[in-house]
Every structure is written in C-alpha cells, then in structure tokens.
C-alpha cells in the first residue's frame, strides 16, 4: 500500500502554514543530521548519545521548545516578560520494542520579576493543551503533566 493511499483526508491544512519539510542525512553509525529541506542550520541526532541527543531525546526537546515558545509569548502579551526559562523533561518509556514514550512530565523553571504564579500556570496550561503543535501531534491519550518553579534560584 502506498503512502498516498494512507493519507488522512479528514485533516485540513491550516491556511498560511506550509507543510513542514525536513531532510535527514545519515552520518555513519547511529548519527543523523536533520535540517529544513530548503537548507539552513542542522541538528545532530545520535541514537548512541555520543555526538548528540537521541531521536527520542530530540522529540522531548521539541515538545519543551514548542511549549516554551508559547509560554514566553503568552507572558510577553501580559507585559510580564520572562527573563529566563528552562524546561526539564522526563519521558517514561515502554520496556519492550519499540521503546515508545508512554508518559511525559515537563518541569518549567521560569524567572521574571513581575510574573504572577497564576498567570505562569495559565500560560503553561494553554501551551500544553491548546497551542503547541508538537504536543498536538503526539498520541492524545499519552499523559503529559507539568509543574512550575517560579523565581526560585
């Protein structure tokens, strides 16, 4: 069966959003370099974890980055800019093959002088449940939980 016959016809493209096109090139052993098909900077993935994060690590980082962008943008719109943000991600894995991710916890560390806890929590909730396209591309039944540390050293 061709990939064309497996196409999901129920999902309509979003106006203004072109298809995401990337190219991944093997660089020996378990190393792959990925970039936009049109060129530009690349990211290294290494399933052995020697020269870069594994593909699964990269997936988890993409989720953290995607939600992080949304959190920063939401708080900026409230005129409470983020001074620093980091996200620790724990992805539980299935013990068998394939070792898919079965549960994710995102731990946000946000620093910002005028950021109120309730607004930071709301920004994270919206990022995780509504705005992040990476999260929305994952299994909707997979639990994704989060926690927040605000203005802690």
Please compute the mean of the pLDDT values over residues 41-57 and round it to a whole number.
96
pLDDT digits (tens, 9 = 90+) for 2-18: 444 454 545 666 677 88
107-139: b (≥16 Cβ within 10 Å) or e? ebbbebeebeeebbeebbeebbeebbeebeeee
Does residue 94 contact residue 129 with C-beta atoms inside 8 Å?
A: no
Q: What is the mean pLDDT of the chain?
A: 92
pLDDT band at 147 (very low <50, low <70, confident <90, very high): very high
Please compute the mean of the pLDDT values over residues 90-117 and round it to a whole number.
96
pLDDT digits (tens, 9 = 90+) for 51-82: 999 999 999 999 999 999 999 999 999 999 99
pLDDT at 1: 47
Length of the chain: 153
Please compute the mean of the pLDDT values over residues 22-48 and round it to a whole number.
96
Q: Is residue 87 predicted with pLDDT exceeding 60? A: yes
* CA distances (Å), origin 72, targets 118, 132, 138, 141: 15, 12, 22, 26
Measured at the CA of 77, the angle between CA 72 and CA 78, to 5 degrees, comes to: 100
Phi, psi of 62 (to 5 degrees): -65, -40
Domains of the chain, CATH where assigned: 4-46 (no CATH), 55-150 (3.30.300.20)
pLDDT band at 107 (very low <50, low <70, confident <90, very high): very high
Does residue 71 contact residue 108 with C-beta atoms inside 8 Å?
A: yes
């Amino acid at each position: 069966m061709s990939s064309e016959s497996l196409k999901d016809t129920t999902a309509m493209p979003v106006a203004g959003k072109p298809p995401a096109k990337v190219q991944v090139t093997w660089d020996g052993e378990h190393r792959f370099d990925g970039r936009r098909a049109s060129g530009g900077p690349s990211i290294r993935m290494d399933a052995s974890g020697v020269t870069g994060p594994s593909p699964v690590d990269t997936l988890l980082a993409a989720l953290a980055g995607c939600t992080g962008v949304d959190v920063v943008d939401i708080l900026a719109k409230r005129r409470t800019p983020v001074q620093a943000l980091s996200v620790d991600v724990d992805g539980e894995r299935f013990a068998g093959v394939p070792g898919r991710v079965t549960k994710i916890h995102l731990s946000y560390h946000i620093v910002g002088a005028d950021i109120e806890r309730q607004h930071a929590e709301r920004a994270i909730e919206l990022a995780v449940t509504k705005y992040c396209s990476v999260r929305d591309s994952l299994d909707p039944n997979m639990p994704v939980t989060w926690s927040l540390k605000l203005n802690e050293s």
